[in-house]
Structure 1
Amino acid sequence: MTTSNPTVTHLPARRNTVRTNRTLQKVGVWVSLLLGAAFAGLPILWMVSSSFKDNSEIFAWPPKLITENFSFAAYTSVFTDPVKVRFFVNSYVIAITVTVLTLVVAILAAYAFSRFEFRGKALVNVVIVGIQAVPPITLLIPYFGLIVALRLYNTYQGLVLTYMVFTLPYAIVMMTGYFNTLPRELDEAARVDGTSSFGALWRILVPISMPGIVSVAVYTFMIAWNEYLFALTLTRTDNMRTVPIGIQLLMGQHSYEWSEMMAMSVLGSIPVLVLFVFFQKFFIGGMTAGAVKN
């Protein structure tokens, strides 16, 4: 007489249950990702679609993502208007200048924090981190008074210096963390070959720190390009306005130029999008490496 083992009998059922649970988990993850992508992507698609519509079509009911009267009129209006083109020129000049200056200062400061010991180092680190904790809006009035007193109101210099106050702390912290991951033997080997500390920085450390530098550069450019509050407060004339302010100026007293607003928003999103697409690998690698502390 033979008896069946209940453990062996229930094994197939348990395996099927495990497989079913795993499948349900995967389906749940994919559904969540698709819903998240739709939630994040539909407003962008609507912005792009609206830039090719007439103002009367934007609020038509039922809404249409693809317009029947496809038109480049809004883009033509932006590119043929010298004032609107100047908005983009200002944004490029300011964002690129802030990015370059921030990188130079941050690299030098981070090298000093990473490789040297000096009096007050801990205090300076606390101040740098503390600046990041201060909400920018609380500094609006003090900076306005300071910029006016320095006669930098409505100038590139005023905006560049103000933006660097907010971009430098993050850049210094990130670059210091990245330099900390690099062995000090690299500096020592460079000095043995007769290279100074300054030479070791620019010839050895900077080239192999490109992922961290690129991540800081992309972040800095994004901050300077998208900033609205200080650009509005510290400028007065249209020839000094940036893209975010230019979009806001399309909101008239009696009517809004919605299609032109959407066209300028699309054009204003392209530089940051291009930077992230082309430097995504360096950006993510730099952010990860900079977060590691030896």
Structure 2
Amino acid sequence: MTFTDAPLATQTLVTKKPVARRPVTQKARRRTAKILTGIGLFLGALFAGLPVLWMLSSSFKSNSQIFENPPRLITETFSLDAYVSIFTDPVKMRFFFNSYVVAILVVVCTLFVALLAAYAFSRFDFPGKHILNVVIISVQAVPPITLLIPYFGLIVVLGLYNTYAGLVLTYMVFTLPYAVIMLTGYFNSIPKELDEAVRVDGGGTWTALWRILVPVATPGIVSAGMYTFVLAWNEYLFALTLTRTIDMRTVPIGIQLLMGQHSYEWNEMMAMSIVGSIPVLVLFLFFQRYFIGGLTAGSVKS
């Protein structure tokens, strides 16, 4: 008697329903955006800040330690010799004095002329107004290096070579257009009713400008002043071309003069760069609120 295999049990296919994925909530998207933004800001800060930290570290080293292998950001021994050499050398301190004199004079002269010009462009209609605006904008588009030789000849003819006046007038050519454009936009955002109220009270144009508009436009003035100071403080090419003697050189030229024919004073170069960057850093820390407000306030006309 033989036994046959039993028939196979029929198999039923059971289809599983797909699991519904939870939609990405707005909160999760914001969290992801914050994380990515934080990573990007950290990488950007690292890229921008690492050279500054390396420069600061090198200013506390000797020349032999700067080129040690492997290079180290933090050394075991710190030396103040580079800073002592700068602050005890009257020639190097003269570089800082010249930079302060030139930068402050450029800021004062630029802001004074820019305030008058911006007030005229914002509040009055006069023949040639559009042409002057085009000329001011065109000056901003010209690369400064192309004007080096013409300005050198002009400064020599005027007898201003190797003087503060020659540097100040030359720098104003590059700082004044930006200041005029910025302050004009800022004045355009201030209602003209303020001017009319001053005239009703018996005041004139001069009173409206200095008693009303200037205090209101403080953020814009601070922003233009900081830009002017930074440009005059850091400028190298014209300072090198329009001066001849050591007693008229500025900080950027002083740093370059530390590069000798046979050896470079790297630690003093780094120390002078750190000391030279302090005025700009202090200005930004003290006027940061006005600076950020001034950059945006003049962009929208009320």
| TM-score, scaled to structure 1 | 0.94
1:278: Cα distance to partner?
Answer: 1.2
Counterpart in the other structure of 1:92? 100
Q: Which of 26, 39, 45 is matched with 2:34 structurally? A: 26
Among 142, 147, 151, the alignment partner of 1:134 is 142
User: After superposition, where does 1:132-211 map in structure 2 within 5 Å?
Assistant: 132-211=140-219
1:274 aligned to 276, 282, 292, which one? 282
In 2, distance between residues paired with 1:22 and 1:166? Answer: 43
Classify 1:70/1:124 alpha carbon distance in 2 versus 1 (closer, same or farther; 3 Å): same
Q: Does 1:232 align with 2:243?
A: no
Post-superposition Cα deviations, 1:2-40, rounded to whole Å, max 9, x if no partner, equal xxxx89x73xx3246876655444332222211111000
Which residue identity lines up with residue 66 of structure 1 in the other structure?
A: I
1:244 is matched with which residue? 252
Q: Which amino acid aligns with 2:179?
A: A
Note the alpha carbon deviations across 1:28-84, whole angstroms, 9 max, x for none: 222221111100000000011100000001111111111222011100000000100
Gaps of 5+ in 2: 1-16
Number of the residue aligned with 1:68: 76
Q: Which moved more, 1:28-37 or 1:121-130?
A: 28-37
Equivalent residue number for residue 292 of structure 2: 284
Code of the aligned partner of 1:51? S
Select the residue among 32, 50, 63 that pairs with 2:58. 50
Number of aligned residue pairs: give it: 286
C-alpha change, 1:88 and 1:113, in structure 2 (3 Å) is same
* Residue in 2 that maps onto 1:102: 110
Distance 1:153 1:22, change over 3 A: same
Instruction: Tell me which residue corresponds to 2:3.
Output: none
Q: CA deviation at 1:277?
A: 1.2
Give the counterpart letter for 1:64 in structure 2: R
Task: Using structure 2 for the length normalisation, give the TM-score.
Answer: 0.91
What letter matches 1:63 in structure 2?
Answer: P
Q: Distance in 2 between matches of 1:288 and 1:16?
A: 35
The aligned amino acid for 1:226 is N
The 2-side partners of 1:24 and 1:170 are apart by 39
Please, which runs of 5 or more residues in structure 1 have no aligned partner?
A: 1-5
Match of 1:3 in 2: none
Identity %: 71
CA–CA distance in structure 1, aligned partners of residues 204 and 31 of structure 2: 60
The CA deviation at 1:107 is 0.3
User: Compared with structure 1, are the counterparts of its residues 174 and 22 closer, same or farther at alpha carbon in structure 2 (3 Å cutoff)?
Assistant: closer
Q: Spell out, residue by residue over 1:126-149, the C-alpha distance to the aligned partner (whole angstroms, 9 max, x if none).
A: 000000000000000000000001
The match for 1:264 is: 272
Q: 1:212 aligns to what?
A: 220
Secondary structure of 2:56's counterpart equals: helix
Alpha-carbon distance between aligned partners in 2 of 1:24 and 1:212, rounded to the nearest angstrom: 36
Q: Does 1:221 align with 2:229?
A: yes
Tell me which of 54, 67, 79 is aligned to 1:59: 67
Q: How far apart, in 1, do the equivalents of 2:24 and 2:250 lie?
A: 60
Q: CA deviation at 1:292?
A: 2.0
3-state SS, counterpart of residue 14 of structure 1: coil
